[in-house]
Structure 1
Amino acid sequence: MRVLVTGGAGFIGSHTCESLLEKGHEVVCLDNLDPYYDVSIKKRNLDLLESHDRFEFVEGDVRNAELVSKLVRGVDAVNHQAAQAGVRISVENPMKPHSVNTEGTLNLLEAARENNVKHFLFSSSSSVYGGAPNLPFEENAVKIPVSPYGVSKLAAENYVRIYNELHELPTVSLRYFTVYGPRMRPDLAISIFTERALKGKEIEIFGDGKQTRDFTYINDIVRAQNECLEKGMGDGKAYNVGSGERVTVNELAEKIIEQVDSGSGLKHTDPRKGDARHTWADTSKAEEKLGWKPRYGLEEGLEKFIDWYREERL
């Protein structure tokens, strides 16, 4: 199978490409190498992939409709991971996530429709739930995004659904819950906390630290993608992909401090706009429809990530 992976030089996207290549597929990777974070990290990800003879890298943007149409022509599946990430950044600059996440997705859907693509997977986010009152989040829960990023993902998700309903395009959306693991972005909490703990520095936590998160290990995310591809999931629906567990941010920091045997303390500062108070996935629908359920708990996942971090980023 020939698969177009957008955002394939990033954290999740590079793992997506790697897994597809290991399974024998041809991969076309589209990434604009946006300097939202250190581009050298993305280039190192590409270095891991370009040794495969079934891998092709194209530098470009999902907002370029002409380029997208050209790349989608001849592929069997689209695995759409590209996004302007960053909940807090989206508060300061809402136009960019709207442009990349919503309009970029629409470009890909149009190209997929025109070229009769057999499978279209969209990477959505737990941010679509935002301030939803009932925990854990079920897929049909009320959506109350609390950031422009969440709004952009929800809008894109609705386009994905509509293209299935109106044009019978085989689509599926996976709502990821706080993904972590090797090669993760340096601006995310687990990366920051790990770096500071390893250096014995104080760990800064926004707000009271009692906000909770459902942290999902990268291998579980990729396995859910593979299940969708292998089963030909194209019902237009969205599925939660999370660990099904939650911890407070304070507890997360304490677990990292314990694992690295650090003397770091905690410092609480003002909360940031756009951050959801809680995330927690009900994954029963994914288990029922995809035959998928999480395999990695936080303790094991953190251990694997910290080992990688010590070797690759210190």
Structure 2
Amino acid sequence: MNIVLITGSAGLIGSESVSFFADKFDLVVGIDNNLRQYFFGAESSTEWNRSRLADTHSNYRHYSADIRNIDELSPIFEEYKSDIKLVVHTAAQPSHDWAAREPFTDFSVNANGTLNMLELTRQNCPEAVFIFTSTNKVYGDNPNYLPLIETETRWEIAEDHIYYKNGIDENLSIDHTKHSLFGASKVAADVLVQEYGRYFGMKTGVFRGGCLTGPNHSGAQLHGFLSYLMKCAITGNHYTIFGYKGKQVRDNIHSFDLVNMFWHFYQNPRAGEVYNAGGGRYANCSMLEAIKICEEISGNKMDYSYSETNRIGDHIWYVSDLSKFINHYPSWYWTYDLTATLAQIHDSMLLRMAH
């Protein structure tokens, strides 16, 4: 039997992975205990998504285990052992603002939870491919020291700075920079996944995401940029822009496109490899530009205000350079541009609200 094990299976990337791999594996084993509700409140509960997956995919089996507790994880690995061919580890505490509230919780989920998953994989199914969703926050605020220019609606890399014309690649230093505690816990996990590949020879891949998005995101103010923005556009709830004149730039990758990157890696894996994974030059926007698109799609004028106080360690401009991944896997390319992604988020959100 071929099994894929997915942590954070009711979250954005986890649930996309369940749907993507359901017809490619005999069994999809999901692990998710809805910690997102604890992090961000009842409106961010992923229970609706867990129920949707169970109703949609007959070969989906769910476990409400806590990745911090190896005694809860061990029986799952022992049950399936070498039948597990792929592990997709997406479970995380994902907000750098929230991490400062409970540093122990943040680190235990992001770092210790990842170590638990790696070691249980090594002990039970060492030949499995292990994929980890890291973050661009491992680079800290180093991107803010790149030569940037201000335009009418966004910050942008200076035209004469040729090296970064396609975005930020994997060679940017992760040292001597302010990460936020979230960024630091993800660095620890990121390096662990690399080390299990390089030291133990396991087939591990690290994907440093930009803004990950899609219709199955339970967006909140502290996490889920486009999803939460569209929610405010639909409901009329107030939205606050934090710093940088609203011109801070993010690249946005649809959850399907990211999971498709995982699929390409799985078919031809490497040991301890690292890839930047975002919308790149194909799909990126500033806060002001995103608000405009949300208004156009929803037909509503957004209620928003501006605060001069930016979030600590927040990026002014971040666009991922995916040249390395595309060079390794040339048959992969983006499917969803920014407008298509936001339109899908809008329609999916309206449908959920109607029910």
Give the C-alpha shift of residue 145 in structure 1: 4.8
Q: Which amino acid aligns with 1:171?
A: T
Alpha-carbon distance in structure 2 between the residues aligned to 1:310 and 1:220 = 23
Tell whether 2:134 aligns with 1:124: yes
Alpha-carbon distance in structure 1 between the residues aligned to 2:71 and 2:85 = 19
Tell whether 2:49 aligns with 1:45: yes
What's the counterpart of residue 164 of structure 1?
Answer: 197
Q: Residues 69-108 of structure 1, C-alpha deviation per residue, up to 9 Å, x if partnerless? A: 3322312221111111112111222221211110111111
Tell whether 2:205 aligns with 1:205: no
Residue number among 116, 126, 132 corresponding to 1:107 in the alignment: 116
Give the C-alpha shift of residue 211 in structure 1: 1.2
Identity %, equivalent residues: 29
Q: Provide TM-score, normalisation by structure 1.
A: 0.93
Does structure 1 conserve the Cα–Cα contact (< 8 Å) formed by 2:107 and 2:185?
A: yes
What's the counterpart of residue 69 of structure 1?
Answer: 74
SS of the residue aligned with 2:310?
coil
SS of the residue aligned with 1:92?
coil
Q: Provide TM-score, normalisation by structure 2.
A: 0.83
Residue number among 135, 140, 149 corresponding to 2:171 in the alignment: 140
Does structure 1 conserve the Cα–Cα contact (< 8 Å) formed by 2:90 and 2:133?
A: yes
Does structure 2 conserve the Cα–Cα contact (< 8 Å) formed by 1:206 and 1:268?
A: yes
Q: Which amino acid aligns with 1:256?
A: C
> Which 5+ residue runs of structure 1 have no aligned equivalent?
none
SS of the residue aligned with 1:173?
strand
Give the C-alpha shift of residue 146 in structure 1: 2.5
Q: Which amino acid aligns with 1:255?
A: I
Give the C-alpha shift of residue 11 in structure 1: 1.7
Q: Which amino acid aligns with 1:66?
A: D
Give the C-alpha shift of residue 41 in structure 1: 4.1
Q: Residues 214-245 of structure 1, C-alpha deviation per residue, up to 9 Å, x if partnerless? A: 111111111111112222x1321111111113
Alpha-carbon distance in structure 2 between the residues aligned to 1:201 and 1:29 = 33
Q: Residues 43-91 of structure 1, C-alpha deviation per residue, up to 9 Å, x if partnerless? A: 2212222233321111111111133233223122211111111121112
Alpha-carbon distance in structure 2 between the residues aligned to 1:169 and 1:201 = 47
Alpha-carbon distance in structure 1 between the residues aligned to 2:49 and 2:127 = 27
Tell whether 2:349 aligns with 1:309: yes
Equivalence map 1:268-307=2 (5 Å) = 268-269=306-307, 270-291=309-330, 292-307=332-347
Give the C-alpha shift of residue 266 in structure 1: 3.5
Tell whether 2:183 aligns with 1:178: no
Structure 1 residues 112 and 24, CA, compared in 2 at 3 Å: closer, same or farther?
closer
Give the C-alpha shift of residue 175 in structure 1: 1.2
Alpha-carbon distance in structure 1 between the residues aligned to 2:180 and 2:94 = 11
SS of the residue aligned with 1:214?
strand
Alpha-carbon distance in structure 1 between the residues aligned to 2:93 and 2:238 = 29
Q: Which amino acid aligns with 2:97?
A: R
What's the counterpart of residue 159 of structure 2?
Answer: none
Residue number among 231, 235, 241 corresponding to 2:277 in the alignment: 241
Alpha-carbon distance in structure 2 between the residues aligned to 1:164 and 1:211 = 35
Q: Which amino acid aligns with 1:44?
A: W
> Which 5+ residue runs of structure 2 have no aligned equivalent?
147-163
